[in-house]
Amino acid sequence: MKMKLWLLLFGFTASYFIVHMAYDLPNMLSGSPRFGRITRTSLFYITSDLLISFFYSLIPFLALYYFYPGKNRFLAIVIIVVSMPLLFMAHYWIMEMTDRYSRIRHFFNGNLFYISIFIIYGIAFYFIRYSYYKELQQRELLLQNRQSELSFLRSQINPHFLFNSLNNIYSLAYQQSDRVLPAIAGLSDLLRYMLYDANEKVPLEKELEYIRKYIDLQRLRFEQPVKADLMVAGNTGDVLIPPLLLIPFVENAFKHGDFSHEDNGLLINIYTNNQKLHVHCHNKKGKQRKDVGGGIGLENVRRRLSLLYPDKHVLLVEDKNDFFTVNLELDYA
């Protein structure tokens, strides 16, 4: 726990003078303040009293600072208990030099309240700062966990997409199709985006270009023309989103959609309005069964959105008998 001691010095000094001003307030109102007339002796008294009172706070603070968080908290208590009487005697000896106190009992009775306040202040200051430090530490831990989870979620997308794409290319190669080489070239471009664009956010236009290439790659699987329309409206150049956020919608549509007829297929509407991004993805469902293990695409997106845009997104999924629809409204500002 790193704390700047000058904060303690500043805070204590301000508190110290506030306490003494409050103590001297009746004298100030009567026109005879305790420290109103500064002489060499009174200046020595004020300075010495200030420094020693500061040590009443500093010693408990340092003892807790170095020993309390670990296993030596008992040592911190011993240091405080032993050092306070010694400091008290030094305080009395210095004050006796100014002839302000002739008996230790008078000094003890006159200063016990303020000494207790300074000791409590040092202890309280430490625990306030310590609790603040623990809160920051907890926030940092949550942030690290959040970043680790986001990295894991993004790493899930890459193998998932690569697995599906290699299956498609394998199918083309098995059929000895002349579209194998274009498919490999398209996959290479997509992998370059996935591997080298590691920024936390990318321009929406870049993500759209990725989706277009992905659609072109998927079209190579089919013998007949495939209906897959991507319609974009609004100023996409100013929009930044996490990379690979939208591709699971498209991937899910190609994986489970019905593209057997020219009128069926996939419709994607993306538009921006002020500070919001709207995504509409609609496709006809195929009759093929889903994978036994299930997909990770949509659940991946849900989790990423909850981490990156809490309370700033609405994701609605409609899974009907013949059609599958995804609507996403995202506050990207």
pLDDT digits over 76-92, tens only?
Answer: 888 888 888 888 888 88
**Does some domain include residue 100?**
yes
Cβ pair 54, 108 in contact under 8 A: no
Sorting pLDDT into bands at 50, 70 and 90, what band is 210?
Answer: confident
Examine the domain organization and report whether 12 and 131 are in the same domain.
Answer: yes
- Tell me, what's the pLDDT at 325? 92
Of 22 and 227, which is predicted with more confidence?
A: 227
Structure tokens given for 35: 């420290």
Examine the domain organization and report whether 229 and 133 are in the same domain.
Answer: no
In this model, does residue 7 exceed pLDDT 70?
no
- Tell me, what's the pLDDT at 250? 87
SS3 state of residue 321:
coil
Sorting pLDDT into bands at 50, 70 and 90, what band is 2?
Answer: very low
- Tell me, what's the pLDDT at 121? 81
Whole-number Å distance between alpha carbons of 28 and 25: 5
Whole-number Å distance between alpha carbons of 49 and 34: 14
In this model, does residue 177 exceed pLDDT 50?
yes
**Does some domain include residue 182?**
no
Domain final residue, candidates 92, 109, 138:
138
- Tell me, what's the pLDDT at 330? 92
Domain that holds residue 278: 224-331
Of 119 and 102, which is predicted with more confidence?
A: 119
Residues 6+ apart with CB under 8 A from 214: 190, 247, 250, 251
Sorting pLDDT into bands at 50, 70 and 90, what band is 5?
Answer: low
SS3 state of residue 296:
coil
SS3 state of residue 61:
helix
Of 268 and 197, which is predicted with more confidence?
A: 268
For the chain, the farthest-separated pair of C-alpha atoms sits apart, in whole angstroms, at 109
Whole-number Å distance between alpha carbons of 193 and 188: 9
What average pLDDT is seen over the chain? 77
Which span out of 58-72, 90-104, 189-203 was modeled with the highest average pLDDT?
58-72
Examine the domain organization and report whether 229 and 126 are in the same domain.
Answer: no
Q: Which of 8-12, 56-60, 217-221, 314-318 has the lowest mean pLDDT?
A: 8-12
Average pLDDT over residues 276-284: 92
Nearest to 160 by CA among 226, 254, 287, 239: 254
**Does some domain include residue 94?**
yes
Nearest to 122 by CA among 96, 87, 93, 71: 87
Cβ pair 258, 287 in contact under 8 A: yes
**Does some domain include residue 205?**
no
Whole-number Å distance between alpha carbons of 136 and 130: 10
- Tell me, what's the pLDDT at 58? 82
Examine the domain organization and report whether 134 and 238 are in the same domain.
Answer: no
Sorting pLDDT into bands at 50, 70 and 90, what band is 294?
Answer: very low
Cα separation of the two ends of the chain: 35
Sorting pLDDT into bands at 50, 70 and 90, what band is 102?
Answer: low
Cβ pair 46, 35 in contact under 8 A: yes
Q: Which of 1-5, 175-179, 318-322 has the lowest mean pLDDT?
A: 1-5
In this model, does residue 205 exceed pLDDT 50?
yes
In this model, does residue 101 exceed pLDDT 60?
no
Average pLDDT over residues 156-182: 75
Domain final residue, candidates 77, 103, 138:
138
Q: Which of 7-21, 50-64, 220-234, 301-315 has the lowest mean pLDDT?
A: 7-21
CB neighbourhood size of 121 (10 A): 21
Q: Where are the beta strands (DSSP E) in 198-284?
A: 202-203, 228-233, 240-241, 266-273, 276-284
Nearest to 117 by CA among 62, 68, 54, 27: 54
CA quadruple 28, 48, 129, 126: dihedral, nearest 10:
-120
Whole-number Å distance between alpha carbons of 43 and 51: 12
**Does some domain include residue 188?**
no
Q: Give 320: exposed, middle or buried? Use CB within 10 Å, 0-12, 13-18, 19+.
A: exposed
CB neighbourhood size of 301 (10 A): 25
Whole-number Å distance between alpha carbons of 72 and 63: 10
In this model, does residue 314 exceed pLDDT 90?
yes
Average pLDDT over residues 245-256: 84
Looking at the chain, the whole-number percentage of residues with pLDDT higher than 90 is 8
- Tell me, what's the pLDDT at 293? 41
SS3 state of residue 162:
helix
CATH code assigned at 248: 3.30.565.10
In this model, does residue 66 exceed pLDDT 50?
yes
Average pLDDT over residues 181-186: 82
Name the pairing type of β-strands 202-203 and 323-331: unpaired
Sorting pLDDT into bands at 50, 70 and 90, what band is 236?
Answer: confident
In this model, does residue 322 exceed pLDDT 80?
yes
In this model, does residue 327 exceed pLDDT 90?
yes
CA 132 to chain centre: 16
Number of domains making up the chain: 2
Give the CA angle between residues 85, 90, 91 to the nearest 5°: 90
Helix and strand tally (H, E) in the chain? 9, 7
Domain final residue, candidates 82, 113, 138:
138
